[in-house]
Amino acid sequence: MASIEQERVENQSLAKRKIAAFFDLDRTLIRVNSGTLYVKHAFRHGRISLWTALQGFWYLSLYHFSLVDMDRVLKKAIESYRGDPDQSLRDSTYRWFAQEVVQHLQPGAEVALARHRALGHPCVLLTSSSCYAAEYARQVWSLDDWLANRFALDEEGRLTGDFDGPLCHGEGKVIWAERWAKEHGVDLDGSFFYTDSLTDLPMLERVKNPRVVNPDPRLRREATRRGWVILDWKKAEEGAKGIA
């Protein structure tokens, strides 16, 4: 009897937990890859060489088709910022995001965010982008929180060239989302996740409501095979599709 009563209480507790909506950034909330915009920006301002910029574009094109080890690429990228002041990079990223990224919010994304807010669902950015870009995205689009790659700092507030915690990519996104859900009393099992990329398959499998947005070719095939909802957020009318 005790075990039955305990199970009933646990089920009631779970039923009272919140449902959240998690959103990827690149080619999901926004119609472009912010990494491409940032590489162009960094080259224009002399932060990287032409060769480094070309390498960046090559890796990003491979990433779109899930053909590159992004963990290795991300680790290599952050190493180039070793010694940079945290506040300086935050300020420059904010300026860049405001000038070159904000205007790319997809019509369907705007509708979906509004719909989830109306239903009382916390809206959380879950991205492989930097914590600085995620911070600004949360502010400008009135998101409830963000989960992204955090950079380790030394005692003087400078980047060490390493990450603080697991990479927010692939399986790492699931780790960050599970931690956040536990801390905020959210039922991750019943939540939503929106993305365009096959690299996010672990997170799509983790939630009850996987939503595939303008997907890359491999994810489209996988989503079709599994019967997942496929959305075209270039169209505002698809923003509320698949949201109870």
DSSP assignment of 177-214: HHHHHHHHTB-GGG-EEEES-GGGHHHHHHSSEEEEES
What pLDDT was estimated at residue 8? 46
Residue 6 lies in a domain: no
Which CATH number covers residue 56? Answer: 3.40.50.1000
The model carries a pTM of 0.84
Q: Name the phi and psi angles at 211, rounded to 5.
A: -130, 125
Residue 11 lies in a domain: no
What pLDDT was estimated at residue 45? 63
Residue 1 lies in a domain: no
Nearest to 76, CA basis, from 94, 64, 92, 58: 58
Q: Is the Cβ–Cβ distance between 97 and 136 less than 8 Å?
A: yes
Residue 13 lies in a domain: no
Number of domains in the chain: 1
- Name the strand (E) or helix (H) holding 243: none
Nearest to 191, CA basis, from 209, 218, 217: 209
From the number of C-beta atoms within 10 Å of its C-beta (0-12, 13-18, 19+), residue 97 rates as buried
Residue 7 lies in a domain: no
Compute the residue count for the chain: 244
Nearest to 108, CA basis, from 27, 177, 45: 27
Residue 51 lies in a domain: yes
Residues of the chain with pLDDT under 70: 1-16, 36, 38-77
Q: Is the Cβ–Cβ distance between 132 and 125 less than 8 Å?
A: no
What pLDDT was estimated at residue 15? 44
Residue 227: give the domain boundaries.
18-238
Residue 170 lies in a domain: yes
What single letter denotes the amino acid at residue 47? Answer: R
What pLDDT was estimated at residue 37? 73
Spell out the residues 6+ positions from residue 41 whose beta carbon is closer than 8 angstroms to its own: 47, 96, 100
What pLDDT was estimated at residue 82? 85
Residue 12 lies in a domain: no
